Amino acid sequence: MISDRLTGKVALITGAASGVGRATAHRFATEGCAAVYLFDRNAEGLETVVAELEGMTRAVAFVGDVGIDEDCKRAVDEVVAAEGHLDIFLGNAPAHSAAAFLTMSTDEWDRVLRINLRSSFVLGQRVAQAMVDQKTGGSIMFTASVSALGASKEYAHYGASKAGIVNLVQTMAIELVEYGIRVNAVSPGPLDTPQSRDVLGSDEAMEAARKHWPLVPMNRLGKAEEIAAAYAFLASEDAGYITGQNIIVDGGLRAHSYSIPEELAAK
């Protein structure tokens, strides 16, 4: 049973047009948020989510690019100007690509770091300033990744950006605690989202992954709704004593060390 833990709260979510951002917008609405502001580059996707939330909460679309500092600042300022307060922020907009370390361009490195890590600083700082001014505290959250905790081939930029988010969360948490602001991250494992489809490269590969994902002990992809549930918890007073944490939601992936291949195991 979903509760009403977020009644009256105002939330801002980036990367809200699909995947985890969309699922979290739905979860926040069902838990009682008075308003959910949706920040994404995808105007059409935002329109769809706004329509889905009609009658559940006041949903407002903000079309912008988290890779542009002024868009980030303007989004936060518009929420505060319209609502008078901002209680919950989720930085979730992702950038990723595959590129070998030896041949990765500095432009691609900079793009991923700008969208994933720089935007987390710019948005996090602006949101924190607003929460300090309103003197009511709040919850700031970011989507990290299990890639922050270990390496993957061809993802040096992505892993470094997500590791940076985890450390940024820890630093923000200890500096902002005196203002009643809690800061946390969630690190998802492999998920059934449009981003995963882009990484795998085809609908066929995605369908196969849904049926079998051997590296994950639960043997499946995670659902966006399962990550949204973690954010709803962290945003609520149920998590009132939790700050500076990186919550791993990965079906047991990080708990697993290795398995002996069946063809090598003693018969």
**Considering only CA atoms, which of 208, 213, 211, 174 is closest in space to residue 190?**
213
Pair 193, 185: CB distance under 8 Å:
no
Angle at Cα 116 formed by Cα 115 and Cα 118, nearest 5°?
70
Q: Which helix (H) or strand (E) holds 88?
A: strand 88-91
- Catalytic residue set: 158
Angle at Cα 38 formed by Cα 223 and Cα 85, nearest 5°?
120
Q: Which helix (H) or strand (E) holds 46?
A: helix 43-52
Angle at Cα 100 formed by Cα 95 and Cα 106, nearest 5°?
60
- Residue whose pair of structure tokens reads 């977020």 in the numeric block: 6
Residue 145 to residue 149: CA distance in whole angstroms: 8
State the amino acid at position 144 in one-letter form: A
How many other CB atoms are found less than 10 A from the CB of residue 96? 17
